[in-house]
Amino acid sequence: MFSRFLMAGAVLVGTALSAAAETKMPFALDWRFEGPAAPYVVAREKGYFADKGLDVELVEGKGSLDAIPKVATGAYPVGLADVEALIKFLDANPGAPVTAAMVIYNRPATAMVGRKSQGIEKISDIEGKVLGAPPPDGAWAQFPLFAKLNGLDMDKITVEPLGFPTREPMLAEGTVQAVTGFSFSIYLSLARLGVPEEDISVFPFADYGLDYYGSAVIVNTDYAKAHPEEITGFLSAVVKGWQTAIADPAAAVELMPAYAPAIDTALETRRLKLAIDGNVMTDEVKANGFGGMVPERFAKALDQMKTAYAFKNAPTPELYFTDAYLPAADLRKMQ
């Protein structure tokens, strides 16, 4: 009897020590708990983070630039942000301890989205009309290059700064004729507001000249150097979360109501599928695996960026991305 109590006590102590040993790692998301956030919820709810000894808190964000200062200041060790926005941040803040460590959207989700009934059927139709653009929006940051590559005259476009909560409602009401943002977010949010899908015109920047990478997991480099195993473990769990979500998007989204009680699971499953098909599962990812960069493509992206953005410091790829913490390539294969 006494030995059984000792054994039971040992189990409880071991469990407590194991829980105490988990490293807390808050993760700054780029946006709300919508479908594309499901892979991170999967990684938490299915224990992928815990299996790596990590206690990960998922914190929703306010746009694709939001996480960069949070991670750069060390408030968060990891976050999710737009690569192009990160490049501009580091150019303005040289030496800041933040870099991208794993690409999520191999093909960027940034786009201009309009309504055909408001006269937006081709890119040039935005001239003479009103474009709604949230100032912290990564797509708005890319718009000048999109405009230059497609021969738009920025002086002929009236830009209306607006907040993220009012972006889709203002487009649905016709107050603005087009907006910038992530294509899948705007498209389905408009549909939810009752805008007929056949009335929505979508112009993904990646289809009109921009060869950028999109959103990526960013890390605080000081933290990563001190905790390399934890960062690799975190990235491994994220990969597994995406693999699971890609295999069954509906099941992944079904785990989300605990994070977003009012979520429309059918709508968010569709949004997740749009992100998977349009931004994650590219030919590059199928060939090389999830999360990395092709150096030649990234160099081309930097050259493109120079044509619309005046760098203060010479851009070099190693300032903005490292593959030092990526899990092995065979573990990053996507089906």
pLDDT at 65: 85
Per-residue pLDDT of the chain (335 residues), as tens digits, is 323 333 333 333 333 334 446 899 999 999 999 999 999 999 999 999 999 999 999 999 988 789 999 999 999 999 999 999 999 999 999 999 999 999 999 999 999 999 999 999 999 999 999 999 998 888 998 999 999 999 999 999 999 999 999 999 999 999 999 999 999 999 999 999 999 999 999 999 999 999 899 999 999 999 999 999 999 999 999 999 999 999 999 999 999 999 999 999 999 999 999 999 999 999 999 999 999 999 999 999 999 999 888 999 989 899 999 999 999 999 999 97
Question: CA-to-CA distance for 114 and 186, rounded, in angstroms?
Answer: 10
What single string gives the DSSP state of each residue in 279-301? IIS-HHHHHH-SS---HHHHHHH
Judge if 315 and 241 occupy the same domain.
Answer: yes
Judge if 217 and 270 occupy the same domain.
Answer: yes
Judge if 232 and 326 occupy the same domain.
Answer: yes
Q: What's 253's domain CATH number?
A: 3.40.190.10
Alpha carbon separation from 314 to 85, 100, 115, 219 (Å, rounded): 16, 18, 40, 22
Judge if 126 and 114 occupy the same domain.
Answer: yes
Alpha carbon separation from 102 to 46, 48, 93 (Å, rounded): 21, 17, 21
* Count of structural domains, the chain: 2
DSSP structure class, residue 321: B
Judge if 233 and 327 occupy the same domain.
Answer: yes
Helix (H) or strand (E) segment spanning residue 181 = strand 178-182
Burial of 308 (0-12, 13-18, 19+ CB in 10 A): middle
Domain boundary among 207, 222, 250: 207
The answer as to whether 265 is a domain residue is yes
Judge if 131 and 196 occupy the same domain.
Answer: yes
Domain boundary among 207, 241, 272: 207
DSSP H stretches of helix in 22-137: 38-45, 48-51, 67-72, 83-92
Domain boundary among 207, 224, 247: 207
Query: What predicted TM-score, i.e. pTM, was given to this entire model?
Result: 0.89
Judge if 147 and 242 occupy the same domain.
Answer: no
Judge if 32 and 126 occupy the same domain.
Answer: no
> Which distant-in-sequence residues (6+ apart) come within 8 Å of 117 by Cβ?
199
pLDDT at 308: 86
Domain span at residue 197 reads 110-207
